Structure 1
Amino acid sequence: MMYRNFAARSALRAISSSNASVARSALTNPAFKAQLTSSARAIRPTTKPSFALAAHKPVTTALIRHASSSSSDGEVDMMAGMKSEAKVIKDTFSLNEVPKEALYLGMAGVVPYLATSLQTVALSYEINHAAQTGDGLIFSGQSAELMLHMLEPVQVAYGAVILSFLGAIHWGLEWAGYGGKYGYKRYAAGVIAPAVAWPTLLLPFEYALISQFLAFTFLYYNDARAATAGRAPHWYSMYRFVLTFVVGASIVATLIGREQIAQSLTTEHTIKDKINALIFLQKKEKEEVEARRKAAVEEEE
């Protein structure tokens, strides 16, 4: 019995080993390889390689490309929008339609105002530097303060002249009948300007500048309305805006410069001090006249 079992197992092992050797010989056979290759080609999908690669691309790659293309388009649109806005600003502030004579003379007219403002800032720096270190860079502290006080009436008086000139323009427009006849309505604009400008000469310097700043702003508003309504040339509004901006910036720079030396600057006599000094002088002169009269009467006696 034991021999039968051993014989059966040996026979099974021989059969399995023979089948494995047959399978190996078949796989190593070139003809069998060709058949396998042809059958694999037969069952291979017929899709194109490019489509297959595109189908297997990661989704993130497509999203990144879409985002980059979208961002480049956005940058182009943004640059185009900025150029368009810059062109609008350039056209808005353009002074090409202003007559060259009026443009050149107007710009030259604000030069003295701008020069006095810059000089005030420079002298204020000298005074402040002298107060901190004991000496200025170019001038001494006392010389700079004296020159500063000399500039004050120049700047205020010139501002009053400009304001009066701006008011007189409306009289000229009314006489020329530009946009029609408006009578007292347009004459009033020419009268109000000098009526507000010249009393500022009696005010302390800072208050005078602030008053003139408000007057310049009001006149620009009135001139802009006149240009919009056809009572003045259409270019006059922008022309006045540019000139008023320069004058207003000069006034602000002057006030800032003087604010830096408010503590070290000698106190300026206000209009009240000047009036009190005038009253005191008149009273003193009357007392002197009365004393002379009494002395003359006593001599006669």
Structure 2
Amino acid sequence: MLYRTTAARSVLRAVSSSNASVARSVLGNPIFKAQLTSSARAIRPSVSPSFALAAHKPVTTALVRYASSSAKDSDDVDMMAGMKSEAKVIQDTFSLKEVPKEALALGMAGVIPYLATSLQTVYLAYEMNRAAALGDGLIFSGQSAELMLHMLEPIQVGYGAVILSFLGAIHWGLEWAGYGGKYGYRRYAAGVIAPAVAWPTLLLPVEYALISQFLAFTFLYYNDARAAAAGRAPHWYGMYRFVLTFVVGASIVATLIGREQIQQTITSEHTIKDKINALIFLQKKEKEEAKARLAAERGEDEE
């Protein structure tokens, strides 16, 4: 009995030891390890990186597109809003809505003579240059164009002197009306200086006369703009004067450019110095003739 028990225990120990060795050999085998690893991976759910990127890519792209489109739309909206704001500022700055309709209509009509004489000067200069180059003008001959040009000169310069005097007289009217208070000689001086500068330009050569009147118009506009800003004139008067002065100044500049193109072909006009010298010579000649007549009369009396 004891023998059988001992034999059974020996058999069980051998079997268990053989199973353990087999298990160790199997676990130590790398092929078995790989199978276990693959089976573990198959059991555990996992997502490959490529699949995850593919799954998240449409969402990310949509978000990027939405962000970029919304930023672009906001930039466009901001840009358009800024441009509209700037356009409104410019429109309000140069607006003439508050100017009385009568003053605006008569003021715009008042610059027509300047525009007309300026455009005619430019056209007649073209005719004279064409006649000098080709022998004949498009409509007028060279001599006819020059004669018409000399007829326009006193009209433009004389009209400028009248307008300058009128602009100065406005300040006298504002002082009499007491607009913005009483300023006395300070305001009357503007009405006196304007004609004092304007009318002597009639004695100057045309180019110098036009340049002098251009400077006078610019100075008067500066004075009128300051008066409007200080309350000595209506608040709309500054912009009103700017628009009219701009048209007049552009007309004068166009006239000077047109005359510059014909400096070599136009006949030199008589300056104020030439006229004074001619007057002195004429007076001297008349005195000599008077003395000669007096001497002739005395000789006749003696005979």
Aligned residues: 263
Partner SS for 2:281:
helix
Equivalents in 1 of 2:263, 2:278: separation in Å? 24
Q: Does 1:280 align with 2:265?
A: no
Offset of residue 85 of structure 1: 0.5
Q: Which runs of 5+ in 1 are unaligned?
A: 1-35
Stretches of 4+ aligned residues off by more than 6 angstroms? 57-65
- List aligned pairs for 1:31-70, cutoff 5 A: 43-45=45-47, 52-53=53-54, 55-56=56-57, 66=67, 69-70=70-71
Partner SS for 1:244:
helix
Partner SS for 1:294:
helix
- List aligned pairs for 1:55-134, cutoff 5 A: 55-56=56-57, 66=67, 69-134=70-135
Offset of residue 188 of structure 1: 0.4
Amino acid at match of 2:119: L
Equivalents in 1 of 2:146, 2:63: separation in Å? 73
Partner SS for 1:43:
coil
Aligned to 2:250: 249
Offset of residue 183 of structure 1: 0.5
Offset of residue 268 of structure 1: 1.4
Equivalents in 1 of 2:142, 2:258: separation in Å? 15
Offset of residue 80 of structure 1: 1.5
Equivalents in 1 of 2:277, 2:55: separation in Å? 97
Equivalents in 1 of 2:284, 2:72: separation in Å? 84
Aligned to 1:142: 143
Deviations 1:21-62 (A, max 9, x none): xxxxxxxxxxxxxxx9xx858614499x8x754644799997
Distance 1:270 1:60, change over 3 A: farther
Q: Does 1:294 align with 2:299?
A: no
Q: Which runs of 5+ in 2 are unaligned?
A: 1-37
Aligned to 1:179: 180
Aligned to 1:159: 160
Equivalents in 1 of 2:121, 2:43: separation in Å? 95
Amino acid at match of 1:290: K
Offset of residue 282 of structure 1: 0.9
- List aligned pairs for 1:179-258, cutoff 5 A: 179-258=180-259
Equivalents in 2 of 1:253, 1:44: separation in Å? 85
Equivalents in 2 of 1:41, 1:109: separation in Å? 99
Distance 1:261 1:59, change over 3 A: farther
Amino acid at match of 1:295: A
Aligned to 2:16: none
Equivalents in 2 of 1:54, 1:193: separation in Å? 84
Equivalents in 1 of 2:294, 2:287: separation in Å? 11
Identity in percent? 77
Deviations 1:199-231 (A, max 9, x none): 000000000000000000000000001001110
Distance 1:52 1:95, change over 3 A: same
Aligned to 1:25: none
Deviations 1:255-301 (A, max 9, x none): 00000111111111111111111111111111111111111111111
Equivalents in 2 of 1:142, 1:151: separation in Å? 14
